[in-house]
Amino acid sequence: MNWKTVCVLLVFASTCAALFSVGCQPGGPKERTYPVTGVVTLNNEPVADAAVTFHPAGSGKLAVGKTDASGKFTLTTTETGQSGAVPGRYRVTVAKYVSPEQPAAAAPAEEYQEEATETTPAPAQNVLPAKYADPSTSGFEVEVKAGENSFTFALEQ
């Protein structure tokens, strides 16, 4: 091998190493996420089935979770599907949407068809105070840091 071939191979190898270290995933490398857990209460009682959303204050990725029967949640970053959240500042929203109850007994087919054309189903409604569903009014701002993160969100009626 001559020195030109060696130089070309060295440049090629260096370029490959640089690309490999940055990441070969579409859209660039994944950002590191860290575990985020917490509890949501309303008037000191756990809130089940509430959606907890971390909205990045600057650039970043949205992270979401759902509370269990004891009000506990674990976040997942939406774009990457990774558990946790990317470090940074977030505004937090909490909402619990419930669909109106359906009729207990089924109506005869003819009556049902008439009803179906005359009425539309009511949209799901947030059963928690509305201010907590808006990042600008919820009053919850947190910072996710490297390592374990745990937050408590105490809602009041």
pLDDT digits (tens, 9 = 90+) for 95-106: 999 987 745 444
Do 46 and 116 fall into the same domain?
yes
On whether the CB atoms of residues 43 and 156 are closer than 8 A, the answer is yes
What value does the mean pLDDT take over residues 23-43? 77
CATH of the domain at 90: 2.60.40.10
Report, as an integer, the average pLDDT of 125-146: 97
3-state SS assignment for residue 51: strand
Paired tokens of 104: 């207990």
Are residues 48 and 92 part of one domain? yes
Predicted confidence at residue 80, as pLDDT, reads 76
Confidence of residue 24 (pLDDT cuts 50, 70, 90): very low
Q: Which domain holds residue 109?
A: 31-155
112/138 same-domain check: yes
Q: Please tell me whether residues 127 and 146 are part of one structural domain.
A: yes
Pair 65, 22 in one domain: no
Identify which of 95, 92, 94 has the alpha carbon closest to the alpha carbon of residue 144.
Answer: 92
Residue 78 pLDDT level (bands cut at 50, 70, 90): confident
Share of the chain above pLDDT 70, in %: 69
Is residue 40 over pLDDT 60? yes
* Contact between 36 and 74 (Cβ < 8 Å): yes
Task: Examine the domain organization and report whether 39 and 11 are in the same domain.
Answer: no
Measured between alpha carbons, how far is 61 from 54 in angstroms, rounded to an integer? 9
Using 50, 70 and 90 to split pLDDT, how confident is the model at 73?
very high
21 with 51, same domain: the answer is no
Do 23 and 91 have their domain in common?
no
- The yes-or-no verdict on residue 134 having pLDDT over 50 is yes
Instruction: Answer yes or no: do 18 and 38 share one domain.
Output: no
Please check whether residues 67 and 77 belong to one and the same domain.
yes
Query: CA end-to-end span of the chain, whole Å?
Result: 78
Q: Is 36 exposed, middle or buried (0-12, 13-18, 19+ CB in 10 A)?
A: buried
Per-residue confidence (pLDDT) for residue 79, from 0 to 100: 77
Output DSSP code: residue 34: B
Please tell me whether residues 66 and 118 are part of one structural domain: yes
Is residue 74 predicted with pLDDT exceeding 70? yes
User: pLDDT digit string (tens) for 109-132?
Assistant: 555 555 555 567 788 999 999 999
Give the β-pairing of 149-155 and 36-42. Answer: parallel
- Structure tokens belonging to residue 124: 């799901």
Strands (E) across 22-62 are located at 36-42, 45-46, 51-56
35 and 51 part of one domain: yes
User: What's the structural domain count of the chain?
Assistant: 2
